[in-house]
């Protein structure tokens, strides 16, 4: 059959890989959006604070900075944690609340969020290439009528590709500096950064920052 001939020529391999990537992207989306981003729980208060201090505090961070109690959920916040008004929880190593996944990006799901963005970017680039290869431009109204959906799909893919690419680059840059989106945007309002002698007391070099984040 034609299907068997295409399989023998290897013509089904690329579509199969593309479908698997799309499926993987969907699974990652639900995983990141439904998982615990690192909510600070009251029964883990003391343990969370101790582990956070041991792993995150450096000698350059002022010793007089004390862990404060959240005025909303009344748990003692570890360093780098922040209360999310939308999730109604304090999140450890809070980065931001992402409306795309309807969940916070924090200590537990941040690495997986980066993986999701990477897979999504590959899918978008591949889909854009497929859409572009199907366009044969002609200066006629009939051509536009027959290709308007494909042209609109290509433009939408380009827009989403730019958004995902910029988001991925910005996150990788912040990770390489061992800082979060919240810390980068609100540096002047955060006590442990405002009173520190260094601009970023958590930065331990690009290689070590990336290693500790992903590994």
Asked whether residue 15 falls in the same domain as residue 89, the answer is no
Domain count, the chain: 2
Query: Which stretch of 80-94, 112-126, 158-172 has the lowest confidence by average pLDDT?
Result: 80-94
Average pLDDT for 22-26:
95
Asked whether residue 192 falls in the same domain as residue 153, the answer is yes
> Residue 47 sits in which domain range?
38-100
Per-residue pLDDT reduced to its tens digit, 28-77: 999 999 999 999 887 555 554 555 555 544 444 455 455 678 878 888 88
H or E stretch covering 17: helix 13-34
Asked whether residue 114 falls in the same domain as residue 206, the answer is yes
Per-residue pLDDT reduced to its tens digit, 202-211: 999 999 999 9
Average pLDDT for 77-84:
89
Asked whether residue 24 falls in the same domain as residue 44, the answer is no
Average pLDDT for 92-103:
93
Cα-trace Rg, the chain: 23
Catalytic hit among 24, 98, 104, 215: 98
- C-alpha to C-alpha distance for 54 and 48, rounded to whole angstroms: 10
| C-alpha distance from residue 110 to each of 105, 140, 145, 209 (Å) | 5, 48, 44, 14
Whether 98 is a known active-site residue: answer yes
Kindly tell me if the per-residue pLDDT of 138 is higher than 80.
no
Asked whether residue 115 falls in the same domain as residue 171, the answer is yes
3-state secondary structure of 202: coil
- pTM, two decimal places: 0.80
Asked whether residue 108 falls in the same domain as residue 26, the answer is yes
Q: What is the pLDDT of residue 192?
A: 82
CB 123, CB 22: distance < 8 Å: yes
Asked whether residue 17 falls in the same domain as residue 42, the answer is no
Q: What is the pLDDT of residue 187?
A: 87
């Amino acid at each position: 059959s034609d299907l068997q001939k295409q399989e023998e020529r290897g013509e089904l391999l690329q579509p199969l890989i593309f479908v698997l990537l799309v499926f993987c992207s969907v699974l990652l989306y639900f995983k990141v959006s439904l998982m615990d981003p690192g909510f600070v729980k009251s029964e883990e208060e003391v343990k969370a604070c101790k582990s956070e201090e041991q792993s995150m505090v450096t000698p350059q961070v002022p010793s007089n900075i004390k862990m404060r109690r959240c005025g909303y959920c009344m748990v003692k916040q570890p360093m780098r944690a922040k209360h999310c008004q939308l999730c109604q929880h304090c999140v450890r190593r809070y980065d931001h609340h992402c409306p795309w996944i309807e969940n916070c990006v924090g200590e537990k799901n941040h690495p997986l969020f980066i993986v999701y963005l990477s897979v999504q970017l590959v899918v978008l680039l591949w889909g854009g290439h497929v859409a572009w290869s199907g366009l044969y431009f002609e200066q006629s109204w009939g051509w536009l009528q027959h290709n308007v959906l494909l042209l609109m799909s290509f433009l939408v893919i380009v827009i989403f590709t730019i958004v995902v690419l910029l988001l991925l680059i910005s996150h990788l840059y912040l990770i390489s500096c061992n800082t979060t989106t919240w810390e980068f945007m609100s540096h002047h309002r955060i006590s442990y950064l405002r009173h520190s002698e260094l601009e970023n007391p958590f930065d331990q070099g690009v290689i070590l920052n990336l290693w500790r984040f992903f590994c």
